[in-house]
Every structure is written in C-alpha cells, then in structure tokens.
C-alpha cells in the first residue's frame, strides 16, 4: 500500500532469503527530538559523553527505517547524515547487518499534492538513492485481495469500481483508507 508496508514486506522477503529474522526498527523522524536520536548527553569526570540511543541496534539482522524523514527537524537531518555516512551516532555504531532506509513524501509529488516538509541539504541528498514510488490501481487491488481475500466486500467493490481509488490525496479513497476500512469491517 505504501512506503512503510513496503519496508516490512522487504524484511519478510529478506528473512526468507537469508534464513534469519530480519527485524524492522521504525523511527518516526517527525516525532523525534535531537536527544532521542543523538543520545542524551552526560558529564563524567569533566568530559561530555552521549548515552547510546535506543535506535541503534548492534545485534541481529534488520532494517533501520527512518520514516517521515522530510518532516524531521533540520538538526535531525544533520544527525541522520552522520548515521548514513558513518553508520554511527556519537561513537555508537549501528550493527553491521542492518540496512538504513529513509522514506517520506516530497514537498510536491507527481499528483501536485503539497506536503509540509523540509528540503534536504545537498550533502544529505547526495548520500541517498532516491526512488519515487506510485502504485497502480491494479497493484492496490492485487495487494488487498492477496492480504484480505478476493471475496472481501471492499476488495470486490474496488475491483468493480476501481475509479474509487484516489492517489492524489484529494479524491475519494486512498489505498491506506481502504485498508483501514477493511480492518474496521473485519
């Protein structure tokens, strides 16, 4: 359906492929503050140190998912730049078997919907591979049908009336709201 679910689906596929549990640690960047991300500072023997942030797992296999990255405050963009570049924050390292994925909406996407986001500076942009993803109506129907069954009432409805699906944020029903509807009805 969307960015977050794609990351969780990728973790499931990777788990099958490597025969290990691939975890997803989702960090909603728009809800973070600098100390949450960087680790709280403390003074010991006259020197400043930073506690290890909880978001830096060192063991196992996983995806560190920095969600809503464009909505994050600028100081978190700078901290993320260090994490992406060096795989560490204030001396605390991310485990070697962890991938970093960021996601978020553009300021103005291909459907002309405007989102409240902060522009990345050139250094951060340069360290990321950028992909614009937009599902098709058929992909949404296939996904929902596979997850909830082709006989589900909502799936049958959108199959018959696939113009009811809106991708522009202004229309009738988004793929996400359709899934919420299915869950509520179940």
Which residue in the block uniquely carries the two structure tokens 């018959």? Answer: 160
* CB-based burial label for 73 (10 Å; 0-12, 13-18, 19+): middle
| pLDDT value for 112 | 47
How far lies 7's CA from each of 42, 124, 144, 155, in Å? 34, 21, 17, 23
Digit-by-digit pLDDT tens for the chain (186 residues) are 678 888 999 999 999 999 999 999 999 998 888 888 888 899 999 999 999 888 888 899 999 999 988 888 888 888 889 899 999 998 899 999 999 999 887 655 544 445 567 788 889 889 888 888 788 889 999 989 999 999 999 999 999 987 888 877 666 688 888 999 999 999
Contact residues for 49 (Cβ-Cβ < 8 A; gap 6+): 41, 42, 43
| pLDDT value for 75 | 87
How many residues make up the chain in this entry?
186
| pLDDT value for 104 | 84
| pLDDT value for 169 | 67
């Amino acid at each position: 359906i969307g960015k977050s679910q794609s990351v969780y689906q990728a973790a499931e596929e990777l788990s099958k492929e490597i025969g290990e549990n691939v975890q997803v640690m989702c960090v909603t960047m728009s809800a973070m503050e600098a100390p949450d991300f960087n680790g709280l500072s403390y003074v010991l023997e006259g020197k400043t140190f930073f506690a290890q942030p909880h978001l830096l797992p060192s063991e196992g296999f996983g995806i560190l998912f920095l969600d809503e990255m464009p909505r994050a405050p600028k100081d978190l963009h700078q901290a993320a730049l260090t994490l992406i570049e060096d795989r560490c924050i204030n001396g605390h390292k991310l485990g070697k078997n962890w991938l970093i994925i960021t996601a978020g909406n553009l300021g103005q996407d291909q459907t002309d919907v405007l989102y409240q986001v902060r522009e990345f500076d050139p250094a951060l942009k340069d360290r990321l591979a950028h992909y614009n993803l937009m599902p098709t109506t058929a992909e949404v129907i296939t996904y929902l049908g596979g997850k909830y069954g082709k006989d589900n009432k909502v799936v049958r409805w959108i199959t018959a009336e696939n113009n009811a699906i809106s991708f522009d944020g202004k229309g009738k029903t988004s793929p996400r709201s359709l899934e919420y509807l299915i869950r509520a009805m179940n």
